[in-house]
Each structure stands twice: as C-alpha cells, then as structure tokens.
Chain A
Amino acid sequence: MKTIRRQLTRRLLLGVSVLLILGALVVYVTTRTALTRQFDDALRAKTTALASIVEQDKGVIDVDGTDEIMREFDAKNSGSFFQVRREDGSVAAASPSLQGGSLSLPQTNFDQPLYWNLKLTTGLAVRATALKFQPHPANDANQPAAPLQAILVVAADRHNLDQALTTLALMLTGSGLLVLFLTGLIVPMLLQRELAPLDQLAVQAQCITAESLASRFATEGLPGELAPISSRLNDLLQRLQTAFARERQFSDDLAHEFRTPIAELRSLAELALKWPQNRSIDTDRNVLAIALQMEKIINRLLMIARSDMGLVNLEGQPVEMKSLLSTVCRPLEERVAERQLSFQISFPTAFEIESDPTLLRAIVTNLLDNAVEYSQSGSAVEIKGESKDGNFTLAVTNTVQELHAGDVPHLFERFWRKDASRSGGEHAGLGLPLARAFATSLGYALTATLNGEARLSLKLSGSLKAKFCSQPASTTTS
C-alpha cells in the first residue's frame, strides 16, 4: 500500500543520495585538480631548475653533474627522472635514476607547458612535463654561432598523488554511505514523530460512528497543514450530525404520527372484544376514519419521496389559472363559510402558465387548504397572481395566530406543526412540504414570509414557460 511515510522516506533517501554523489564528485574533482596542479607546479619548478644546469659547448649538450639539483636524480629509487633530447629527438642526457629507460614524448611543439602521465619500463607510474629551451653555453665568453635547442623532459613518481586521491575517494564514498545509512534510520523516525498528528486524526476518524457524530477533531496544536483538514472534517461532521438529527426527527415524527392512530385502533378493537355487547356502529366508523387518515399520510409521504427522487411524471400544457383556482376553491367553500373567511382574488386579465396541471393544482390546493385551516376566523385570504417578463408569482396571504418569525423556516419541514402536541388527526404537517417538493419538481420556488401584522404569505414563483422535460405517463402522481 502506498503511504506518505514510505513515499517520503524513499524520496528523501533518493534525494540525499543524489546530493551526496554530486557533492562527493565536486569535492573529489576539486581536490584532484588542486593536488595535481600543486604536483605539476613542483614538477615545473624542478624542470626550470634543471634547465639552468644544462649546457652546450661546441654542439654538445651536457648536464652539469656536479650541481646540487642532480642529487635528486641520481638515486635509483629517488622517484625523479629527466631526459634531455636534442631537436631531432635523440637523447643527449638522462638521469641515472632512469636506469637506461626512456621518457616518451607526446607529438607536440611544446610551445605551451604540457603535463602527461606515463609508465616507465619498470612499471612505475609517473607524471612528466617537458620544456623546450636553449641550453646556455658552457663558457660565457664562447657564444656558439648556431646555438642548439633542447627538450628537457622531467618526470616524477605519482604514487603519493594517486594514493592521496584514492584515499580521498574512499573517504568520500564511505562517509556518503554512512550518511545514507543514518538518513535511512533517522528519516522514518522523524516522519513517524512528525506525522503522528495524522495518525491521531486517522484513529479519531475511525472511532466516529453514527452515534458519536457530536464528537469533533481537535484543531488546537495541529501542524498548519493539518489544521484546515481538521476544520473541514469538523464542518463535515456538523453537516452529518444535522442530517442525522433531521432523519431521526423525521423517524420520531413518523413514529409518533402513527403511534396515536394505532393506539386508537387497538383500543377500539380491544374495547369491542372485551365488551362486545356494547359495540356500536361508531366503532366501525372510527376504524375507517383512522385507516383513511393513515392512508393519507402514507400517500403524501410517498408523493414527497417520489418528487424528491424525480420520479414524478410531468406533462407541460397551458393552465388557465382562474379556472384552476375556481376548481380548487369549490371543495373549500363549506369550510370557508364555516370559518367566516373570504377570498380576495386579484389576477391579471389573462393569466396562463405552461405547467403540469396535476402538480400545479396540488400545490395551489395545499396553499389554500393551509390558509383556510390556519386563518383567523372572519379574516380575509388574499390570492394574488402576477405575470411579468416571462415569470409569474402566485401569493396566498392570510392572517395567522400564534405563528412567530422563528417558525417560518420550519413550515416546509415534514411533520412540523406549530402545536407540539400534534393534536387533531386531519393534519400531519405534510401539506406544505408536499407543495414545495412539487414546486421544486416544476422548477418553481415556494417561499414563506411573515410580516409584522401576522400576515403569512406563501409565494409560488417561476417561469411562465415550462422548464421541465415532459415525460410519458407511466406511474401515477396522486
């Protein structure tokens, strides 16, 4: 498995290796150049000094063997060698240390100082240089008419130089390997220590379950790179907790919504069984009413779920709003009269919307049903329609009692009811959620506002033209 720790260790080791190799190469090359230059300078100085004791006399080139300098070249194992060659390449003189050997010359005119490595016949590795010069006359007074040119080749044993360079190379390689080894040991330990907060984060995340969504990741003392991750995870947990709480609330509400009718059914049945002689027709009427009430809740929940999942079939066609409104108002007339309400309708002369008539009617029905149910007795329900710039609004406004601004955001929550006791079996708190789910399916917005005069306004707004794709009818929507 790929881990940050392994990746970092591998890459750090690779990086350190490359740096070490490059560093060692630079050190080795620089040192070798410096040592070689030093060796060459010494060799050159020796050559210049030796050239000063080479003489010519009457066409003969010779070396003053009595000079102090010659002592270095006399010994058999001195490690210093020279050879004086004439212009034609023939040997004019050679150091005794050469023991009859020769110092080979490269093909060049020796205008520039030249250094090269060679091996003597004895197998000794030496470094040599050559100097083209004019030997001075043996007698200063007797200047030769045609002075001779000579090439002085001087060589020195390079064993010490090679050994020093080899030692340097070995030291560099050894210390490089040691550094690599230590890096390989230390880096994982450091990574382990520095990445510990990441491990803790992982352990904490592993411990989070649906029951512990209230827990939060620590953000204090975390490295700068992890603190934002921890904060984002906390945000995610908050959202999850809210979603879970909403679902639990929904389950609770659903359970409660069904517990009471089931309790009613059960007690009706048990009462009838325990005292059968007292069973009345009201028992059956009540059982039927409870069954219808539960059926209504189930149907509405199914419709909301289908709408949320986009499974509602939509068919766009022109809907004349005045006609739709009168269809919706008709069944409400009895309750409107009973509660002494009045409808104040204000629609444009031509008010037509391209929409799905079934869903639009369901939305308007729920809005008006809500207004009739919760309006203050004797008040007016205002229904106002407008169309402008290709859009429409339909607002249903009514006077409400005991509704506060804080309640408005809950109006579209499933099963929400102002009265926490959830009294009364007719309403389960699903009408407005269903209306909003349908509005969303149609691409409309359904909003609620409450003004200071306790007037609640539910506003449906959207495009006059259908913005949804019509689908062939295959399942029912109501």
Chain B
Amino acid sequence: MRVLLVEDSARLQQTVGDALRRSGYAVDVSADGEDGLWRAENNDYDVIVLDIMLPKMDGLTLLKSLRKNGKATHVLLLTARDRVEDRVSGLRSGADDYLVKPFALEELLARVESLCRRAYGSKQNLITIADLEIDTAGKKVWRAGHPVKLKPREYQLLEYLAHRSGEVVTQTEIEAHLYHDDAEPMSNVVESALSSLRRKLSQANPAPLIQTRRGLGYILEAEAP
C-alpha cells in the first residue's frame, strides 16, 4: 500500500512517516501543498494523509483540485482545526476521513488501514482466498491453517495482490504501490520478492496461488480444481 503524507511539521513528517513505514506502507512525504498536489496527481496512492494548513497551497484547495481532476484517492485530513464547521467543510471538499491534532498514532494507522480497505472495496480485516487467510489489521498470514512468516515487503506484496485478487497486476503497478518515490527498485526486486513469497506460501500447501501471465503480469487466485 502506498501512502502520501502531506504535512509541514518536520517532526510529524518524521514520526508519522516512520510509523506508516513500520506498518508496511510505502510512504512519500510532501512539506507543502503545491508539491503534495503534484505528487498526488502524478502517482497512484492508496491513501493521502493531508494537513489542512500548509504553505504555498492549503490542504482544502489541494483536495478540491485533486477531485476536480478526477482523482478519487482516499484522503484523511489531519489538522489542528477541531470545530464542527471545519470538519464539515473538510468532508464536503472531498475528504474521506478527518483526524484532529493531537491524535493517537494507533488511531491514525487504523484510519489509514480502513481507507486502504475501502480503496479495494473491502470492509473486513480478513481476506480469504482458497486456504490462504490474511489479517490486514494484525498483518498476519495463514496457509492451510499454518502461520506463514513474511518480511514486510513480502507481506505488502501479498496484501496488494490479495486486494486485487482475480485481476492481472502489472509489475509497474506493484512498483508504484510498494515503493515510495525516493526508492529506485532494481528491475528484479519484484520478481525476487514474488519468488520468496511463492516459496513461503508453498510450505504448507504446494498448490500455487500466484500465477505469472507472460508479458502481462501476475495474478493471485485459487487454482481451478
């Protein structure tokens, strides 16, 4: 999952960004509204965490521009404004959620996670595909009832493929969702992660779940009996 954090406080950029990264998200950070809008328009984020009072362009103007340009990315407004009219104005500008500073880090992570689920049309924390179970809240995976230990990047890849289960996902899409802007993934890093993931998933049950479609991409689905 890829998240854009638009926040002018350097300390919040650091702490919130760090917390999101440790929770398995690929995080890009913007310190002002103009840069935030540019990134939001030129990347495919799952969630944008957006401060309202920003230098150069305020968060609400950014949000309206984004919606006007047809971007439906889920947006969590993060602000020091706590009046009802501020919340209403924020939500009416196209925000999906609203969190007032100071906030609990856990709550922020839970809300980002909830918005990620909504991004893929899911309301549950548990994704089940054949004998594969993924707890998106606890970041845990089971295959045929056995726990599967995955590295953060492997988990992110599996969750992303699971969210788009039944669809062919291109390597470019995987890179866009799992790696932030500053990271430059090697050409084989996705393949390498996929290989490791396949190996770990096959330990409990050898039936392959992730298929390769030559020249197209990858698909996660239960093999037809």
Q: Is A67 an interface residue (CB 8 A)?
A: no
Residues on B close to A: CB < 8 A?
A: 8-9, 11-12, 14-16, 18-19, 22, 51, 53-55, 58, 80-82, 100-106
The answer to whether B16 touches A423, judged by C-beta atoms less than 8 angstroms apart, is: no
CB of A399, distance to nearest CB on chain B (Å): 20
The answer to whether B81 touches A256, judged by C-beta atoms less than 8 angstroms apart, is: yes
Contact for A270 among B14, B54, B58, B106, CB less than 8 A:
B106
Q: Which residues of B contact A4 (CB under 8 A)?
A: none
Task: Report the separation of the CA atoms of residues A151 and B174 in the bound assembly, to the nearest whole angstrom.
Answer: 151
A256-287 interface (Cβ within 8 A of B)? 256, 259-260, 262-268, 270-271, 274-275, 278, 286
Q: Which residues of A contact B102 (CB under 8 A)?
A: 259, 262-263, 265-267
Given contacts A259-B102, A267-B19, A275-B22, contact A421 B11 (CB under 8 A): no
Contact for A419 among B11, B55, B82, CB less than 8 A:
B55
Task: Report the separation of the CA atoms of residues A264 and B9 in the bound assembly, to the nearest whole angstrom.
Answer: 8
The answer to whether B104 touches A260, judged by C-beta atoms less than 8 angstroms apart, is: no
- Can you list 11 A-B contacts (CB < 8 A)? A256-B53, A263-B80, A264-B11, A266-B105, A267-B15, A270-B105, A278-B18, A286-B11, A421-B54, A423-B55, A425-B9
Nearest B residue to A425 via CB reads B9
The answer to whether A422 touches B53, judged by C-beta atoms less than 8 angstroms apart, is: yes
Q: Is A290 an interface residue (CB 8 A)?
A: yes
Q: Which residues of B contact A469 (CB under 8 A)?
A: none
Contact for A290 among B11, B53, B82, CB less than 8 A:
B11
Nearest A residue to B11 via CB reads A264
Q: Is A202 an interface residue (CB 8 A)?
A: no
Give the A-B pair count, Cβ closer than 8 A. 76
Task: Report the separation of the CA atoms of residues A425 and B80 in the bound assembly, to the nearest whole angstrom.
Answer: 14
Given contacts A260-B9, A263-B102, A266-B102, contact A274 B19 (CB under 8 A): yes
Nearest A residue to B109 via CB reads A274
A379-430 interface (Cβ within 8 A of B)? 419-423, 425
Q: Is A145 an interface residue (CB 8 A)?
A: no
Extra pairs beyond A270-B104, A421-B55 (17, CB < 8 Å): A252-B81, A255-B80, A259-B80, A259-B100, A263-B9, A263-B102, A264-B12, A266-B104, A267-B102, A270-B106, A271-B15, A271-B19, A274-B19, A274-B106, A420-B58, A421-B54, A421-B58
Task: Report the separation of the CA atoms of residues A274 and B58 in the bound assembly, to the nearest whole angstrom.
Answer: 31
Given contacts A263-B12, A421-B53, contact A256 B80 (CB under 8 A): yes
Q: Which residues of B contact A263 (CB under 8 A)?
A: 9, 12, 80, 101-103
The answer to whether B53 touches A267, judged by C-beta atoms less than 8 angstroms apart, is: no
Q: Which residues of A contact B19 (CB under 8 A)?
A: 267, 270-271, 274
Nearest B residue to A265 via CB reads B102
Task: Report the separation of the CA atoms of residues A252 and B81 in the bound assembly, to the nearest whole angstrom.
Answer: 8
The answer to whether B12 touches A267, judged by C-beta atoms less than 8 angstroms apart, is: yes
Q: Which residues of B contact A425 (CB under 8 A)?
A: 9
Nearest B residue to A271 via CB reads B15
Task: Report the separation of the CA atoms of residues A275 and B103 in the bound assembly, to the nearest whole angstrom.
Answer: 18
CB of A160, distance to nearest CB on chain B (Å): 91
Nearest B residue to A262 via CB reads B102
Task: Report the separation of the CA atoms of residues A423 and B8 in the bound assembly, to the nearest whole angstrom.
Answer: 6
CB of B31, distance to nearest CB on chain A (Å): 8
The answer to whether A260 touches B101, judged by C-beta atoms less than 8 angstroms apart, is: yes
Nearest B residue to A256 via CB reads B80
Q: Which residues of B contact A260 (CB under 8 A)?
A: 9, 12, 80, 101
The answer to whether B105 touches A271, judged by C-beta atoms less than 8 angstroms apart, is: yes
CB of A30, distance to nearest CB on chain B (Å): 79
The answer to whether B105 touches A267, judged by C-beta atoms less than 8 angstroms apart, is: yes
CB of B205, distance to nearest CB on chain A (Å): 33
| Those 8 A-B pairs whose CB atoms lie nearest each other, nearest first | A263-B102, A259-B80, A263-B101, A267-B15, A270-B105, A264-B11, A423-B8, A421-B53
Task: Report the separation of the CA atoms of residues A25 and B104 in the bound assembly, to the nearest whole angstrom.
Answer: 93
Q: Interface readout for A233-264 with B: 1 if CB under 8 Å, 0 if not?
A: 00000000000000000001001100110111
CB of A276, distance to nearest CB on chain B (Å): 12
Q: Which residues of A contact B80 (CB under 8 A)?
A: 255-256, 259-260, 263
Task: Report the separation of the CA atoms of residues A150 and B22 in the bound assembly, to the nearest whole angstrom.
Answer: 148
Task: Report the separation of the CA atoms of residues A268 and B53 in the bound assembly, to the nearest whole angstrom.
Answer: 21
Q: Which residues of B contact A268 (CB under 8 A)?
A: 11, 15
Q: Which residues of B contact A267 (CB under 8 A)?
A: 11-12, 15-16, 19, 102-103, 105
Q: Which residues of A contact B55 (CB under 8 A)?
A: 419, 421, 423
Nearest A residue to B83 via CB reads A252
